[in-house]
């Protein structure tokens, strides 16, 4: 492989690695925001139920303690409602999911570009043009994507490094393929 091709491959590999992390981070961000939204909704339901129950007990004639509970629960519910009124976690989570899908598309094309580079079928100028087009698509995707949160990056890092969420053994891949395309069958 020529020095030019090695340099290009090195650059594409670097981009590919960043894209793998970014894709997984957006997926984890979407998951985290969905969990937070679910938690907030459940907390609102519980506080509403507690407020209503306390008010009903007060109306049916029980004392000051339940008036205090009703006031505390309704205040907490008001605080939670005010906190969550300005942003829709589910909508933001959906934007992260869409960004992850757009980044996944680029990731797969970068992978194919690396294979093309190794095969050596294309001229370096063609490979550079493809790289530039993918970079442009990636930059546009990043511009439209919501910001990720550090917790999502930590989860993505763990998922990729420790849980091997992006790697497969030959045996695992063979299970998905017809017999004539399996490595074990062709050995």
**How high is the pLDDT of residue 178?**
75
Per-residue pLDDT tens listing for the chain (187 residues): 688 888 998 999 999 999 999 999 999 999 999 999 999 999 999 999 998 888 888 887 777 888 888 889 899 999 888 888 878 899 999 999 999 999 999 999 999 999 888 888 788 899 999 999 999 999 999 999 999 999 998 998 888 888 877 777 777 777 766 777 677 655 5
Say which residues have a Cβ less than 8 Å from residue 55's Cβ, sequence separation at least 6.
Answer: 70
**How high is the pLDDT of residue 170?**
74
**How high is the pLDDT of residue 187?**
54
pTM value?
A: 0.78
**Residue 21: how many CB atoms within 10 A of its CB?**
16
Say which residues have a Cβ less than 8 Å from residue 37's Cβ, sequence separation at least 6.
Answer: 89, 90, 93
What angle separates helix 3-59 from helix 124-144, to the nearest 10 degrees?
Answer: 20
Compute CA distances 148 → 79, 87, 89, 101, 153, whole Å.
26, 15, 13, 15, 8
């Amino acid at each position: 492989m020529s020095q030019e091709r090695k340099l290009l491959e090195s650059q594409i590999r670097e981009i590919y690695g960043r894209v793998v992390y970014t894709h997984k981070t957006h997926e984890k961000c979407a998951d985290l925001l969905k969990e937070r939204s679910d938690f907030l909704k459940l907390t609102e339901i519980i506080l509403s139920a507690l407020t209503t129950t306390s008010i009903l007990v007060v109306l049916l004639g029980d004392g000051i303690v339940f008036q205090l509970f009703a006031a505390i629960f309704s205040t907490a519910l008001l605080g939670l409602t005010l906190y969550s009124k300005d942003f829709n976690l589910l909508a933001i989570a959906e934007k992260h999911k869409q960004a992850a899908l757009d980044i996944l598309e680029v990731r797969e094309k970068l992978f194919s570009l690396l294979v093309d580079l190794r095969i050596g079928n294309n001229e370096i100028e063609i490979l550079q043009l493809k790289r530039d087009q993918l970079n442009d698509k990636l930059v546009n995707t990043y511009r439209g994507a919501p910001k990720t949160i550090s917790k999502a990056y930590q989860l993505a890092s763990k998922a990729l490094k420790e849980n091997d969420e992006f790697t497969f053994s030959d045996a695992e891949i063979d299970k998905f393929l017809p017999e004539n395309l399996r490595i074990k069958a062709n050995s």
